[in-house]
Amino acid sequence: MTRRAHQTTAYYAAYFVLGATIASLGPSLIYLGANTATSTDVWGLLFLTRSAGYLSGSLIGGRLIQRWSGSLLLSTVLLGAAIALAAMPAITVFSLLLTMMLVIGACEGCLDVGCNLQLVWVHRERSAPYLNGMFLVAALGGVFSPLLFSLLGGAWGYRALALLKLPLVVVFWLLSAPDPQQEEAPHVRRRLHPLWFALFCLIVFIYVGGEVSFSGWLSSYAFTLNLATEKGGGMLTSFYWVGILLGRAVAIPLTRRLALRRMVLICLAGIMLSLGMILLNPLSVNWLWAGALGVGVCLAPLFPTTFAFLERQVAISGSLAGVLWASGSLGAMLYPWLIGQQMAQRGALSLMAILVVSFGAALLLFGWVSGRVAR
> What pLDDT does residue 40 have?
64
pLDDT score, position 185: 41
Question: pLDDT for 131-157, tens place per residue?
Answer: 888 988 988 887 788 788 878 888 999
Judgement on whether residues 226 and 317 belong to the same structural domain of the protein: yes
* Overall domain count for the chain: 2
Same domain, 159 and 208: no
- What would the pLDDT profile of 40-58 be if each residue is shown by its tens digit? 667 768 878 888 898 899 8
The verdict on 340 and 204 lying in the same domain is yes
Number of residues that make up the chain: 375
What confidence score (pLDDT) does residue 107 get? Answer: 95
CA distance 83 to 161: 10
Q: Answer yes or no: is pLDDT of 187 > 70.
A: no
Answer whether residue 199 shows pLDDT above 80.
yes
Local confidence band at 230 (pLDDT 50, 70, 90 cut-offs): low
- Residue at 188 is within a domain: no
Digit-coded pLDDT (tens) for 342-369: 887 888 899 999 999 999 999 999 999 9
48 contacts 167 by C-beta, under 8 angstroms: no
Domain span at residue 161? 3-174
Domain final position from 129, 146, 174 = 174
Q: Are 136 and 246 in contact (CB under 8 A)?
A: no
Q: 367: helix, coil or strand? A: helix
Written as one letter, the residue type at 123 is H
Q: Are residues 211 and 265 in the same domain?
A: yes
Task: Choose among 351, 308, 343, 349: nearest CA to 134.
Answer: 308
Q: Output the pLDDT for position 108.
A: 92
Residue 191: the pLDDT is: 66
The mean per-residue pLDDT over the stretch 210-227 comes to: 83
Read off the pLDDT of residues 67-80 as tens digits, 9 standing for 90 and up. Answer: 788 899 999 999 99
Please indicate, yes or no, if residue 199 is contained in any of the structural domains: yes
Q: What is the mean pLDDT of the segment spanning 316-327?
A: 79
Q: Do 146 and 211 fall into the same domain?
A: no
Last residue of a domain, one of 146, 174, 202: 174
What does the pLDDT read at residue 340?
A: 79
- Categorize the per-residue pLDDT at 267 as very low, low, confident or very high, splitting at 50, 70 and 90: very high
pLDDT at 142 (0 to 100): 79
pLDDT of residue 173 exceeding 70: yes
Alpha helices (H) along the chain: 3-22, 25-36, 44-67, 70-87, 94-123, 127-174, 194-224, 230-257, 260-280, 285-299, 302-313, 318-346, 350-373
Q: How confident is the model at residue 159 (pLDDT cuts 50, 70, 90)?
A: very high
Q: Both 138 and 208 in a single domain? A: no
- Please tell me whether residues 228 and 279 are part of one structural domain: yes
- Are 208 and 341 within one domain? yes
Residue 185 is assigned to a structural domain of this protein: no
pLDDT exceeds 60 at position 38: yes
Model pLDDT, residue 90: 93
Considering the chain, what is the average pLDDT of its residues? 86
What local confidence, expressed as pLDDT, does residue 314 receive?
Answer: 73
Tell me the range of 53-62, 72-81, 225-234, 297-306 where mean pLDDT is highest.
72-81
User: What sign has the CA pseudo-torsion 294, 297, 303, 308?
Assistant: negative
Contact indicator for 113, 58 with CB cutoff of 8 Å: yes
Same domain membership, residue 139 and residue 109: yes
181 band by pLDDT with thresholds 50, 70 and 90: low
Task: Phi first, then psi: give them for residue 212, nearest 5 degrees.
Answer: -65, -40
* Residue 189 pLDDT greater than 70, yes or no: no
Does a structural domain hold residue 181?
Answer: no
Q: What is the pLDDT of residue 167?
A: 96
| Residue bearing the bigger pLDDT, 98 or 25 | 98
pTM for this entry = 0.76
Is the same domain home to 153 and 8? yes
Please say if the pLDDT value at position 87 is more than 90. yes
* CA-to-CA dists, residue 16 to 21, 260, 342, angstroms: 9, 24, 34
Q: What percent of the chain has pLDDT over 90?
A: 39
Query: Could you tell me the pLDDT band of residue 375, with boundaries at 50, 70 and 90?
Result: low
Lowest mean pLDDT among 192-196, 243-247, 315-319: 315-319
Helices marked H in 175-284 — which ranges?
A: 194-224, 230-257, 260-280
- For residues 202 and 154, membership in a common domain is answered with no
Q: Are residues 205 and 168 in the same domain?
A: no
Residue 223 pLDDT > 70, yes or no? yes
Q: Is residue 361 a part of any domain in this protein?
A: yes
Task: Give the rounded percent of residues in the chain with a pLDDT score beyond 70.
Answer: 93
Pick from 174, 207, 228: which residue ends a domain?
174
302, part of any domain: yes
CATH at 276: 1.20.1250.20
Terminus-to-terminus CA distance in the chain, angstroms? 35
Does 187 fall in a domain?
A: no
